[in-house]
Amino acid sequence: MKKTPIIEVKIQTEALYTLKILSNNVDDIAIKIADLADDKVFNQAPVILEIVNKHFQANELAVLVEILGRNNIYVVGVRTNKQEIIDFAKFSGLAIFSELPSVSKNKELQQEPIPPIENKAPLPPKIINNQVRSSMQVLAKNGDLVLLDKVRADAEILANGSIAAYKEVCGKVFAGISGDKTATIFIRSFNPQLVSIAGVYRQFNPPPTHLCNRQVMIDLTKGRLRFRVV
């Protein structure tokens, strides 16, 4: 008796585009993506994100995937040598693509520079799957923090690095607690009591209407907190 095939593998010839990300300014990237989306070629197009900017962080990748999806451009994987982004991409179900070799004009492979030896590999983000209830405290003392459920009022979330929260946040958020001024905070539904980066903080009771329940990215610019709706 002939068996019915369960799966069939096919080699597809459709275009798979690579978007080189040269900046970590999410606002500027969003504008460029909107321009791309006006071209019908990119409607429903699968793309690889090649992260070139060395300051690009995992929470910014999450925002970028969201922005592309809203413009009907869909991320299938990333190409990067930054371990933090690789770990986050794997967690998000994205493929990891290897670096492409450089080719000279006569098509001979160029000698690749030897990467500098780092003293310590970056640690993956601490991921919290459960709701953070009132009076609870969550600390990521060695790096970034990712929250996949709601943060209740009077709860505290703290990280030495950046924080990305993918549900409503009603508690207090402290990023860069050891003084990291490059730390950022991403909140999917903004309703916190307090936000702080590297000791610079702002309290809310309640948040202003233009931020409340919106998707917000926070960073430090010239010593002040900057709030951007993304």
Q: For residue 119, is it within any domain? A: no
Say yes or no: 80 and 164 in one domain.
no
Say yes or no: 92 and 135 in one domain.
no
Q: For residue 207, is it within any domain? A: yes
| Sequential pLDDT tens for the chain (230 residues) | 667 777 776 545 456 678 889 988 888 888 888 888 887 777 888 888 999 888 888 888 888 888 898 888 888 889 898 888 888 888 778 888 876 544 344 444 444 565 565 555 566 888 999 999 998 999 998 889 999 999 999 999 999 999 999 999 999 999 999 899 999 999 999 999 999 999 999 999 899 999 999 999 999 998 899 999 98
CB burial of residue 33 (10 Å; 0-12, 13-18, 19+) = middle
Say yes or no: 86 and 130 in one domain.
no
Q: For residue 107, is it within any domain? A: no
Say yes or no: 91 and 130 in one domain.
no
Say yes or no: 65 and 145 in one domain.
no
- Model pLDDT, residue 94: 85
Say yes or no: 139 and 79 in one domain.
no
Q: For residue 118, is it within any domain? A: no
The DSSP 8-state label assigned to residue 39 in this structure reads S
- Model pLDDT, residue 106: 44
Domain boundary among the residues 96, 113, 139 is at: 96
CATH code of the domain containing 199:
2.160.20.70
Say yes or no: 203 and 138 in one domain.
yes
pTM of the model: 0.52
Number of domains making up the chain? 2
Q: For residue 113, is it within any domain? A: no
Do 186 and 163 contact (CB within 8 A), yes or no? yes
Say yes or no: 143 and 223 in one domain.
yes
CATH code of the domain containing 25:
3.30.70.260
CB burial of residue 22 (10 Å; 0-12, 13-18, 19+) = middle
> Which of helix, strand or coil describes residue 210?
coil
Say yes or no: 130 and 225 in one domain.
yes
Q: For residue 12, is it within any domain? A: no
Q: For residue 116, is it within any domain? A: no
Edge to edge, what strands does the sheet with 95-96 contain?
17-21, 45-51, 73-79, 95-96
Q: How far is CA 53 from CA 85, 94, 203, in A?
A: 12, 19, 32
Which H or E run contains 164? strand 163-169
In whole angstroms, give the CA distance from residue 46 to residue 74: 5
CA atoms within 13 A on the CB side of 189: 12
For residue 77, what are the domain limits?
17-96
Say yes or no: 133 and 183 in one domain.
yes
Say yes or no: 85 and 131 in one domain.
no
Say yes or no: 50 and 92 in one domain.
yes
Q: For residue 1, is it within any domain? A: no
